[in-house]
Amino acid sequence: MSALELKIPPPLVAAVTALLMWLVSRIAPVVRYEIPARNAVALGFVAAGLVIGISGVVTFWRAKTTVNPLKPQSTSSLVSWGIYRVTRNPMYLGFLLALSGWAASLASPIALLLLPGFVLYIHLFQIVPEERALTSLFGDEFLAYKSRSRRWL
């Protein structure tokens, strides 16, 4: 297991990414773009991210399983209903959408470049270890769920 796997809480990764996006937008303010209704677009992305992310948390609470992303081995049940029929990772998708809204608000193409970094970090150090743990816990049931659902969208 990599030294970074399941070590940094994804909300902290999202917050650091948001801060870095803000910093690069201030360091290179000359590089900007304008889109019509930029703030409405930004708000739409953030709202969608919140709805999707909170749906994931609420579904876990209803299933009475852990929402702690640092301890996937503590999962008590495989959740494959609700928002989890559409995406296996609604909380991470929610963060990505909110960060996309933040990038739109900043109007910085350089800030946009940090989004793939967020996705890569979450994929390598959070999702892959989580899926390894879920395969160990739920075996064929998780593999079947994995084959009929998408990781992000």
- Return the pLDDT at 94: 98
Query: Is 1 part of any domain?
Result: no
- Return the pLDDT at 117: 97
Which burial class, exposed, middle or buried, applies to 116 when counting CB atoms under 10 A from its CB (0-12, 13-18, 19+)?
exposed
Query: Is 136 part of any domain?
Result: yes
Q: Which residues span the domain enclosing 120?
A: 10-27+35-67+76-148
Query: Is 141 part of any domain?
Result: yes
- Please give the model's pTM, rounded to 2 decimal places: 0.95
Query: Is 2 part of any domain?
Result: no
Domain count, the chain: 1
Query: Is 104 part of any domain?
Result: yes
Q: What is the pLDDT of residues 104-148, one digit of tens each?
A: 999 988 899 999 999 999 999 999 999 999 999 999 999 999 999
Query: Is 153 part of any domain?
Result: no
- Minimal CA–CA distance to 145: which of 87, 103, 72? 87
Tell how far CA 43 is from the center of its chain.
17
One-letter amino acid for residue 79 of the chain: V
Q: What is the pLDDT of residues 71-107, one digit of tens each?
A: 999 999 999 999 999 999 999 999 999 999 999 999 9
Residues 6+ apart with CB under 8 A from 49: 93, 94, 95, 96, 97, 98, 99, 100, 101
Query: Is 5 part of any domain?
Result: no
Residue 74 phi/psi, 5-degree rounding, is -90, 0
Q: What is the pLDDT of residues 48-74, one digit of tens each?
A: 999 999 999 999 999 999 999 999 999
Residue 87 phi/psi, 5-degree rounding, is -145, 140
CB 90 within 8 A of CB 5: no
Residues of the chain with pLDDT > 70: what percent? 99
Reported as a pLDDT band with limits 50, 70 and 90, residue 28 is: confident
Tokens of 13: 């990764």
- Return the pLDDT at 30: 73
- Return the pLDDT at 60: 97
Reported as a pLDDT band with limits 50, 70 and 90, residue 36 is: confident
What is the dihedral sign for C-alpha 65, 130, 117, 83?
A: negative
Residue 37 zone, left/alpha/beta (φ > 0; ψ -120 to 50; rest): left
Q: Which single residue is written with the structure tokens 């994804």? A: 10
